């Protein structure tokens, strides 16, 4: 159930992250928003466990997933900016 919960929270976090950080270099579309949020949720879970905020059996909550998605969106923006001439 932990992975399913992370995916659901990740999707919602991706939507919130795109609303918080609009821009030209952001991923477009439903699928990329979902992937952005899911990756953000996994990043937040991994980072939280590495820093000792979460136990090994815990995943990031909604706010942590939004922060993770914003981090992933920032990285995406830097990469997209470098690739455009």
Residue 42 CB partners (closer than 8 Å, separation 6+): 6, 10, 68
Q: With 70 as the cut, is the pLDDT of residue 83 above it?
A: no
The per-residue pLDDT for range 4-63, each reduced to its tens digit, is 776 777 788 888 887 887 766 566 677 777 788 888 888 888 888 888 887 777 766 778
* Confidence label for 78 from pLDDT (cuts 50, 70 and 90): confident
This prediction has a pTM of: 0.71
Give the chain's domain count: 1
Q: What is the predicted pLDDT for the residue at 52?
A: 82
SS3 label, residue 22: coil
Structural domain containing residue 14: 2-83
Instruction: Please give the Cα distance from 79 to 20 (Å, whole number).
Output: 19
């Amino acid at each position: 159930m932990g992975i399913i919960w992370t995916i659901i929270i990740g999707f919602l976090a991706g939507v919130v992250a795109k609303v918080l950080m609009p821009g030209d270099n952001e991923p477009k579309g439903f699928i990329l928003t979902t992937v952005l949020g899911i990756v953000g949720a996994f990043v937040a879970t991994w980072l939280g466990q590495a820093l000792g905020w979460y136990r090994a059996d815990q995943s990031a909550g909604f706010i942590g997933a939004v922060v993770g998605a914003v981090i992933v969106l920032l990285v995406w923006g830097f990469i997209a900016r470098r690739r455009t001439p």
